[in-house]
Amino acid sequence: MYTAEEFRQDVIANIKGNSEFSPLVESILQNSKFQFNDTSYFTRVIWNTYERNLVIFCAPEDRIELEKYKDPLYSLCSKIHGNQDDYLIMSLEIIAKNHISPVTNATSMTDDKITITTSIEIDRSSTNNIGHGGFGTVYKYYDEEKEELIAVKIYEPSIFQNSSPEIMKKRFLREGKKLLSYSHPNVVKAFDYGFLGDESAYIKMEYISGDRLSDFVLSNKPLNPALIDTLCYQYIDAMSYIHSQTDMHRDISYSNVMVTKANEIKVLDFGFARNADDTNYDTKYKDIQRKFVIPNEKYTFRTEVYCIGAILYTLITGNTFDDYNPDSTDSIDESECTFKLKEAVKICLSLKPEKRFSDAVELKKFVQKSDTVIIPHNFSLDFFKKMLSESVILHFYPKNLPTKEIIAEWLDNKYREHIKSSAFQSTVNLLSLLNHISGVTKITFYKNVKYDLDKTPFIELLNFYDTLSDEMKELFIRNILLIILEVSKDDDLDLPFC
């Protein structure tokens, strides 16, 4: 049976980040009690479905806030409940109870402590203060419910900000809402946000133990080439995700990119982030510290790509961006990272915006890499030869055995297309792959042999092929042809030697 408590948790989950409700509504519902009053009357909405009345009990001080949102709250509750247990919610009643502690007045700040709710209190001591930025101070505390350290960002704007306190707080809460909507392993995760009395606000998020990017690079240089690749791809993936939401971070700096103890990238501080389609954004441009941006350049996705390039430059060279010389690429070329990554950084740092990637999504496509797309240092076709010799015989029409041209066309087109078409699968079907070779009339396969094979070596083969020069590609194709001819059958001819 769908209990009132289960329903309350579902409602809270759907209110998180919902712009139709104030953040305070979620906090009040967290502190409230739901009760179903069922009837034996049929509804007129759905036949054989009974009426159910919902009662929300809360503190007297909090009832005023809930009443403001009664209509959208009822609409949301009706939608969530649906027709579970053969009941529909037909009415909503909000009742005040004196024994329930209020949320509205529970939040407070003093010089010694910050009280977010009756169960969350933060000591302002220096040991808990872990950072301060343009929008506020970040504290850590131990969350007994989650059984882990949590970071809480408190709205305390810097005196150097130019916008009014009202706009600053609105921007702070927008950051909380945006973070709640994000879901990416390399973007800081938010759990909750809301008002803190009348003057402040908070964002509760994951606690990150690590170093800001520049400190990590300078204290650990030279970085291992494999670690450089890992960190760069994580950062590119995170920024690609942000840009795919049509958002711009707009405050890219070393302080806003952290490297955890587990060597994971975390992008944080979204106080200046905005959606490209948001025409009502109230940030004054002079509020933004243009750390890596070329002077007098209008801020666009291509501008942000330049800033991304500055972060990548530090990762691959071990130098801060202050050392970057736009007239020389020597420091980039000397890096031990992959050739593709070097080229990507050069494109990002083009002085002319039109020569850069249009956004981080395009950048990610350029350097696309996954666990299965790794170019081995000592690649061998032995696996391919062994696999075919133990699995199949390929049949062709008389005098129609494959040639180098046919194998080249197969590898460049059909083979590549087949691998791409199985992008969301971990295996590739060998028979389907071989059947794409021009001229194959039949495939004889051996008994008890598996044909859905791990896709990794097939991808490695293709990636290795793509790195070869034209001359080496011709030799590679010749070797594949010889392997295929060994398992090919032409009744009228002996196998030719190419």
Task: Give the range of the structural domain holding residue 172, as residue numbers without chain letter.
Answer: 108-206
Average pLDDT over residues 285-306: 77
Residue 153 in marked binding region: yes
Say if residue 288 is in the same domain as residue 429: no
Say if residue 344 is in the same domain as residue 219: yes
Average pLDDT over residues 116-132: 70
In a domain, 494, yes or no: no
- Cα–Cα distance, 135 to 161 (Å, whole number): 8
Phi, psi of 91 (to 5 degrees): -155, 155
The number of distinct structural domains making up the chain is 4
In a domain, 311, yes or no: yes
Say if residue 223 is in the same domain as residue 360: yes
In this structure, the dihedral spanned by the alpha carbons of residues 431, 423, 464 and 385, taken in order and rounded to 10 degrees, is -20
Pairing of strands 488-489, 392-396: parallel
Predicted confidence at residue 371, as pLDDT, reads: 37
Predicted confidence at residue 368, as pLDDT, reads: 82
Predicted confidence at residue 373, as pLDDT, reads: 38
- Tens digit of pLDDT for each residue in 318-348? 999 988 998 888 899 999 898 889 999 999 9
* Angle formed at CA 296 by CA 163 and CA 162, multiple of 5 degrees: 10
In a domain, 375, yes or no: no
Predicted confidence at residue 410, as pLDDT, reads: 94
Say if residue 215 is in the same domain as residue 343: yes
What CATH number has the domain bearing residue 276? Answer: 1.10.510.10
Average pLDDT over residues 425-443: 89
Say if residue 243 is in the same domain as residue 361: yes
Average pLDDT over residues 133-150: 81
Predicted confidence at residue 233, as pLDDT, reads: 94
Predicted confidence at residue 419, as pLDDT, reads: 84
Mean residue pLDDT across the chain: 84
- Cα–Cα distance, 207 to 140 (Å, whole number): 7
For residue 122, the cross-strand partners are: 114
In a domain, 371, yes or no: no
Average pLDDT over residues 79-99: 86
Phi, psi of 454 (to 5 degrees): -50, 130
In a domain, 496, yes or no: no
**Of 173-177, 263-267, 363-367, the least confident:** 173-177
Q: Is the pLDDT of residue 260 over 90?
A: yes
Average pLDDT over residues 341-360: 94
Say if residue 81 is in the same domain as residue 120: no
Comparison of pLDDT for 16 and 312, the residue scoring more: 312
Say if residue 59 is in the same domain as residue 137: no
Could you say which of 156, 179, 206 is where a domain stops?
Answer: 206
- Name, of 49-58, 158-167, 199-208, the range with top average pLDDT: 49-58
User: Which residue from 264, 312, 277, 263 is spatially nearest to 292, judged by alpha carbons?
Assistant: 312
Q: Is the pLDDT of residue 493 over 70?
A: no
Average pLDDT over residues 13-18: 80
Say if residue 131 is in the same domain as residue 87: no
Q: Is the pLDDT of residue 432 over 50?
A: yes
Say if residue 339 is in the same domain as residue 268: yes
Predicted confidence at residue 374, as pLDDT, reads: 40
Say if residue 246 is in the same domain as residue 182: no
Predicted confidence at residue 378, as pLDDT, reads: 55
In a domain, 101, yes or no: no
